[in-house]
Structures are given as C-alpha cells and as structure tokens.
Amino acid sequence: MAIRRITVAERRARIGVRHRLAAPAGSAVEAARALVVLHGTDPAAVYLAAAARMHSPEIAGIERELYEERRLVRMLCMRRTVFAVPAELVPVVQAACADDVARLERRRTLKLFQEAGLGDDAWLREVEDETLAALRARGAAYATELSADVPRLKERIVLGRGSRNEASPAIASRVLLGLAVQGRIVRGRPRGSWISNQFQWSPIESWLPDGIPAVPAETARAELVRRWLAAYGPGTAADLKWWTGLTMTQVEQALALVETEEVDLDGTPGLVLAGDAEPVAPPEPWVALLPGLDPTVMGWTGRDWYLGEHGPALFDRTGNAGPTVWCDGRIVGGWSQRADGSVVYRLLEDVGAEAETAVKAEAARLSEWIGPVRVIPRFRTPLERELSA
C-alpha cells in the first residue's frame, strides 16, 4: 500500500483545528487536553495560552480551574520543564517522565549536598520527611514558612561555582523541587497576581485525595506518545524524543505499543495514529497571538514548515520561543508589551490586508484582556526586546 503524503497545508490545518486556535475551547482544561499539557515554566504563559484558545476567557475562570476545581496540576516533567497537566493525566505523566526526572534531580541534589558537606541520602530523606510533616501541619505554605518550621532548609549550597553566575541559595528550593517531582507535594496558588512565580505548596493528597496512582512506566510512555500523536501528528520519532525528553530507545519501545501509520512529510518519514492519515478540511481563516513557550510553538523539533526563516528573531540562543503571531497555521511575526501595557506586534511577512486587520484586532483584544499587568516573558528574544523598548 502506498504511503500517503501529508502536505504542509494539511499540517497547518490540523494546528488550527486540533490546537483549538480556529475552533475555540470552552475552558482552560479543554484547551490543555487539546495540547496534552500547557507550558508552565512562565506562570503567565498558562493563562495566555489558554486564553488564546477559549471562547470567553477570564483570568478568574482560569484561576478557578487551577486552584479551586484543581483540574490542572503544575508538574516538573517532560524535558525537566514545568507544565500544567490535566488532573486525569497526572499519573501518566508522573510514570512516563517525572519519575526519571526525580531520579536525576536527586543525584544532582546529593552531589551538591556532598560538596557543601551537608549530608547523604539518609540526611536528605530526614529533611524531606520533616518538610512534608510541616507542610501537612500547615495545610499549605510558602518556602519561607517551611524554612521557619524546618531550620535545615536554610542550609546553603553553591551553584555555578567559579562562574560569574555563582550563587549560594538555601537548600529549600532543591528539597521542595525534589518532593514535587516525586509527586509528594504540588504547586498551588502563587503569592500576588497570576503572573507571580512564588507558589504556595500543598501536600499532593490535598489536590488529589488518593495521591498519584502508580502506572507501569512502559504503559504510561505509550499513552503519552499516543496523546502527542493525536494532538501534534503527523510527526517524527525525533519530534517525540525532543518533546517527551525520553531516550530514543524509550520512544521506540512506546511506539511499538501504539498502533501507528507511516506517512510522507515531503520526503521525511512521519507517523500518525492508525486511521488518522486522511485529509483534514481547512478551517476558516484565523490569527492568534501566542505567548512565549506556547505548546504549539514548541510542539516539534522540526519547525521549518510553520516557522520558516523567522527563528533567529523569535527564539533565544538556547531554543526558547518568544511571543509569536500566527496566521492560518504558520508563524508570521512576533509581539510584545510596552511599559504602558499596550500590546505591539511586527509582521515578518506579507499576510494580506484582511489578515493584518485581524492581527491588529487581536492585539487590541489581548491588550484589553491583560489589563494593567505587565507581562515580561521568562526568556527574552531579539524581536520581543526590540518591540518592548
């Protein structure tokens, strides 16, 4: 049987429909499910990414889903990155990726503790258990509050020794990060506004009453791969390796448990879920202003088909995407926010008068939605810096 070719136009149509950019969602969790997860390294990005995909987004509504209904859980997982994960997917993400990250982080923490002369694995476990007990006693707490309860959290380590970025932070952040990636505690509501990254911590059972159910790692990886293919397919094994942070061996083992179909991506072998190779009807024309590190922007490692020649202006030197302007499934420019709060943009290619009018209207809508808050991306890119000046 001939391998079906999926064109760039079809891939762009899938972005519009499946990533809810041309077919808006009714809630933040619905938007997250469409993308598998929402990127959460930058707290504001969760809100901006969800809002770009919702019918009638409200900051209070997204906060309610995060912190009251607790339908999204912030986790350190794929690529050692924080994501907002739909609650029902937490066990899969924990077993597929977070458990491996937890083991790597523990080795790194123990090395830092050894260099600082603090203690061994048993010492770290004592501090973790004391911290968790203090957190349960409080119900929820910030790192500074827990450090008052557990004095050993104030011990210091050295990071970047001998470099210009050398620092001596307290171990509280390492201990809390470790407990979180193990699935024992969870990031809750931040101090201040929705753009703050000073999170309150809670025991995992206060969010998920039964904790995180155990799932076999092989099963979890296969399910994560299946969901990525449903949302981002067609793609390549290299895309999957990059997005999940798994090894290529783990990706191949996962793919062996998932029914897939090979397709031709203009000469590059690609994969879709079995039965998902048929043409996708193009949606109505659409534009979107997406935040830095948006899941759609960061969904693949091979990006030429939607990024074109715009990478140097819109990504930083380590591969982090800044705010982008999209038109019908391709990146056509970037945007930023000035000191007065206004959203400004620049188109890097001709999109036609109608689309440009739509981009202008979307920038005005986003400026009004953000309101008086000043959103500065976690990772600054050349065009974003230029526009914000």
pLDDT per 10-residue tile (average), the chain, 389 residues: 90 97 97 97 96 96 96 97 98 98 97 92 97 98 97 91 82 97 96 93 95 97 98 98 98 98 95 95 96 97 97 96 98 96 96 98 96 92 96
Let me know: does 167 contact 160? Beta carbons within 8 Å.
Answer: yes
Give the integer Cα–Cα distance in Å for 109 and 89.
27
pLDDT of residue 161: 79
pLDDT of residue 48: 98
pLDDT of residue 348: 98
Give the integer Cα–Cα distance in Å for 32 and 59.
15
Give the integer Cα–Cα distance in Å for 213 and 210.
7
Let me know: does 11 contact 234? Beta carbons within 8 Å.
Answer: yes
β-strand partners of 315: 321
Residue 13: closest CA among 343, 278, 222, 381: 278
Q: Is the previous residue joined to 234 through a cis bond, with omega within 30 degrees of 0? A: yes
Give the integer Cα–Cα distance in Å for 63 and 73.
12
Q: What is the CA radius of gyration of the chain?
A: 22
Residues 6+ apart with CB under 8 A from 37: 77, 78, 83, 84, 85, 86, 89, 93, 295
Q: What is the pLDDT of residues 298-329, one digit of tens each?
A: 999 999 999 999 999 999 999 999 999 999 99
pTM score, two decimals? 0.95
Give the integer Cα–Cα distance in Å for 232 and 271.
10
Residue 65: closest CA among 228, 207, 212, 213: 207
Structure tokens belonging to residue 204: 């995992």
pLDDT of residue 158: 83
Residues 6+ apart with CB under 8 A from 137: 149
Strand, helix or coil for residue 62: helix
Helices (H), the chain: 8-18, 28-35, 43-51, 59-63, 90-93, 99-116, 121-138, 143-149, 172-181, 204-207, 217-232, 237-244, 248-255, 304-307, 311-314, 353-370, 382-388
CA distances to 76, 89, 92, 96 from 215, in Å: 17, 11, 7, 9
